Amino acid sequence: MSSSEEVISHNPATGAELGRVLLAGDNEYESILQEALLAFQHWRLLPAPNRGDIVREIGEELRAEKEALGELVTLEAGKIIAEGQGEVQEMIDIAQFAAGLSRQLYGLSMHSERKGHRMYEQWHPLGVVGIISAFNFPVAVWSWNALIALVCGNTVVWKPSLKTPLTAIAVQQICDRVLTRHGWKGVVNLLIGNDRVVGSRMLHDPRMPLISATGSTRMGRQVGQVVAGRLGRTLLELGGNNGAIVMDDADPDLVVRAALFGAVGTAGQRCTSLRRLFVQRGIARTVIQKLTTAYAQVLVGDPSDPHTLMGPLIDADAVEHMLRALERIRVQGGEILAGGNRFNALGECFVEPTLVRSHPEMEILREEIFAPILHVIEFATLDEAIRWHNDVPQGLASSIFTSSVYSSETFLSTRGSDCGIANVNIATSGAEIGGAFGGEKETGGGRESGSDSWKAYMRRQTVTVNWSKELPLAQGITFEL
């Protein structure tokens, strides 16, 4: 049946209603999926470079709408202007990457052990790819998945966060504009619905061979278990409890700039936000003093003001979650060095970025708190710092700040960071689209965006061609009548 439910989109900075969206019901779900399945039958036959040309045009349309779409991201997700515009730029960049990739969907060629035989591998599209995205990157993460999936020959169905439906509608309209020009329907699809009707059906639907889901570890565990139950594929991008190690020989000013962006950017609501800063004792006092001073200077306020550095959290529930976490931090022995309060004068979703002096035994350090809270922990040796850094369930992004080749290479070695992303002298956040993005352990193990992440959206086929007039068997087996 069709749904009569609706979702209201609010501006987290003001609480004002931005719009109302009717949620998809069972009928809409089935109609959209049938369109995607039908479109796949034809889209997969279009040569990959031609698919790349269409994706390139989507990127050009995004460039033309960059300012307006970026402003909508700011309005609906609460990101500051620079981050809203940056998110759209990320979509443009991935469109360019995907267009070039469309001519490089390569397979390997192997030497056969049999005379007169050729062996190689090739890649084919999967079908309809389901994409479930989160509020914190309401459009960019969709593009990492969708635009790569499209050049690989798939069609896509997108379930966005119900906290940011308007940005999803805007992106869908931009894609429709391009695809309609080329006579395509059902290639890019949008289903705005709740978990029960749309989300659950996507997970259980065998007609979607791949579900890419971004969100909490709790959500990802459910997605993984349900899709695995039907032997489908998942690409999971989940929680990140990211840490950085600061050695005595690091540049303290560089550390402070990087840590501030990593911890305060997007109000601490990035999956790559810096949450734990391990500082060697010889430099700890200097770094902590500089950070405390910097935190006092962060301008929190209207995200549409170009001078603002931190906007609101996504909603009042996120604020309460942060305040409860701070209470637990105090109980467990943490000391608030800066911030720690709600900004009531600005609105119900504003908080102060918070700096905490913590100790490694605090249980809360093992949790991802999706808020601008940065723990500072002092350490003695690099081995100690690496051990504490890795002693969490998550494994997304990590950094080390040092001028020592030994320290940096140790951190990057097999006994160093256990994360999917490891940086030297830069923040944990702000990844480029050219590399594979993702993490280990409870972060989910998925990889999106650059490098060879495209392989997740395709199926591998090994081919052996006998061009001789004989029929030799592998492993030297003889089978004759």
Q: 30-89: per-residue pLDDT in tens? A: 999 999 999 999 999 999 999 999 999 999 999 999 999 999 999 999 999 999 999 999
Q: 183-205: per-residue pLDDT in tens? A: 999 999 999 999 999 999 999 99
- Looking at this protein, which amino acid is placed at residue 376? V
Taking residues 170-185, report their average pLDDT.
Answer: 98
Taking residues 290-297, report their average pLDDT.
Answer: 98
Predicted confidence at residue 454, as pLDDT, reads: 98
Predicted confidence at residue 3, as pLDDT, reads: 67
**What are the DSSP calls for 379-444, one per residue?**
ESSHHHHHHHHH-SSEESEEEEE-S-HHHHHHHHSTTS--SSEEEESS-SS---TTSEE--EETT-
Predicted confidence at residue 480, as pLDDT, reads: 87
Which residue numbers are catalytic? 237, 271
Predicted confidence at residue 2, as pLDDT, reads: 59
Predicted confidence at residue 344, as pLDDT, reads: 87
What are the DSSP E strand ranges found in 96-205?
A: 109-110, 117-125, 128-132, 155-159, 188-190
Q: 395-407: per-residue pLDDT in tens? A: 999 999 999 999 9
For residue 244, the surrounding DSSP H or E stretch is strand 242-246
Predicted confidence at residue 4, as pLDDT, reads: 75
Taking residues 431-454, report their average pLDDT.
Answer: 96
In the chain, the percentage of residues whose pLDDT exceeds 90 is 98
Torsion angles phi and psi, residue 443, rounded to 5: -75, -15
CA distance 473 to 263: 60
Q: What is the pTM of this model?
A: 0.97
To the nearest whole number, what is the mean pLDDT of the chain? Answer: 97
Contacts 24+ apart (CB under 8 A), 401-408: 401/244, 401/245, 401/246, 401/247, 401/250, 401/251, 401/254, 401/255, 401/258, 401/425, 402/245, 402/246, 402/247, 402/249, 402/250, 403/247, 403/249, 403/250, 403/251, 404/247, 404/249, 407/247, 407/249, 407/382
CA distance 72 to 104: 34
Predicted confidence at residue 1, as pLDDT, reads: 52
CA dihedral 267, 268, 270, 275 (to 10 degrees): 170
CA distance 91 to 70: 11
Task: Find out whether 21 and 198 touch, Cβ atoms under 8 Å.
Answer: no
Q: 92-104: per-residue pLDDT in tens? A: 999 999 999 999 9
